[in-house]
Amino acid sequence: MDPITDIFRTMHVSAFGQHRLEATAPWGLTQEKQTEEKITPSGKKNAPTDLAHFAMLSRGNCWLSVEGIPGPIPLTGGDCFLVVRGTSIVMRDSPRTRPRSTFREIAANANSNVAHYGGGGAPTTVVCGSFSFERASLKPITQLLPRFILIKADQAHTLALHNTMQALASEMAEQAPGSEVVATRLAEVLFIQVLRAHIASEVEWRNKGWLRAIFDPQVGAALSAVHASVSTPWTVESLAAAATMSRSAFAVRFKELLGQTPLEYVTEWRMQKAMQLLQQRDKKLIDVARLVGYDSDAAFSKAFKRVVGANPGEYLKRSYQNRGHV
């Protein structure tokens, strides 16, 4: 299994919010920064926040300014973009228009998930969505996800994005039996399609973070080996051999690309898989431990608590409390 597919299989959307913005010139909106989600000692969330925000321009034209990117970006009908939490943006009809409201304020006043805003001039329609993920998915997704993704209407995979977005909007509007489940699954598909389109675009994502590491011929080979068999008793030496590099050169290159040591990465990914297995609740602790490469449940529990911040039993209790179970 390739690492990207492995992360997609581990990822689960927990919620997807959507609304449509009907804007008329002049108009300008900002997306304020959101702080990181905090977990209290009891395991309860202080304030649920979204990991990423998605928007698709379905009519008209506008300008997008993204924190850290010089100059405004022109958007036309069919263009899509995704930004991660903590990235501020401004959307407006003209680079000269001063934004006077936030997306949060406009969404709060939406009527039947449709928000109207602006001065009555040229119309622009933007379909907006926000993704929230189960906590077990957060670390791998934040490793994979760039801060900003832009997908132009003429790129590959854009039609699939539009079709999924239309199906998602239909499910959320109809509220038929099972709509919430279908909408959540479609949101996962949409998110994966965004990332696939981004990878296919061959922009400068290869120069940054986890995706750069995956497509690095040598480090990528080691990562593929880990994701193909997480239970293997990996060492730096065996990972270096998979990468066809010397131990020292591999360790330096891995840390340079991923910001952590090879064994830190292996341990964290084992715990991501363990969280997924634990939530299935059909395996004994020792079985989960062995599936992710530990010979004893004591050694596994110690590593789990170090990475997750709670032992397996505490984690399961916490997880079910957050889902509304007693």
| Per-residue pLDDT tens digits for 113-131 | 899 999 999 999 999 888 8
CA proximity to 150, closest of 198, 206, 88, 93: 198
Intervals of CATH 2.60.120.280 along the chain? 3-204
Q: What is the 3-state secondary structure (H, E, C) of 235-302?
A: CHHHHHHHCCCCHHHHHHHHHHHHCCCHHHHHHHHHHHHHHHHHHHCCCCHHHHHHHCCCCCHHHHHH
Q: Give the position of tokens 């990465």.
A: 265
pLDDT at 37 over 60: no
Strand partners, 21: 115, 126
Q: Which residues contact 224 (CB under 8 A, 6 or more apart)?
A: 2, 3
Average pLDDT, whole number, for the chain? 85
Q: Give the range among 135-139, 173-177, 262-266, 319-323 with minimum mean pLDDT.
A: 319-323
Q: Is 60 exceeded by the pLDDT of residue 34?
A: no
Q: Is the dihedral of CA 275, 276, 281, 285 positive or negative?
A: negative
What is the longest distance spanned by two Cα atoms in the chain? 67
Answer whether residue 203 shows pLDDT above 90: no
pLDDT recorded at residue 325: 43
Helix (H, G, I), strand (E, B) or coil at 41: coil
Q: What tokens were used for 107?
A: 């969404």
Query: What pLDDT does residue 63 have?
Result: 98
Mean pLDDT score, 290-316: 93
Per-residue pLDDT at 23: 96
Query: Which stretch, 153-167, 184-198, 232-246, 308-322, has highest mean pLDDT?
Result: 232-246
Q: How is domain 216-322 classified at the CATH fold level?
A: Arc Repressor Mutant, subunit A (1.10.10)
User: What's residue 222's pLDDT?
Assistant: 96
CATH topology for 3-204? Answer: Jelly Rolls (2.60.120)
Q: Kindly report, as residue ranges, where domains of CATH 1.10.10.60 are found in the chain.
A: 216-322
Q: Contact, 115 vs 89, CB < 8 A?
A: no
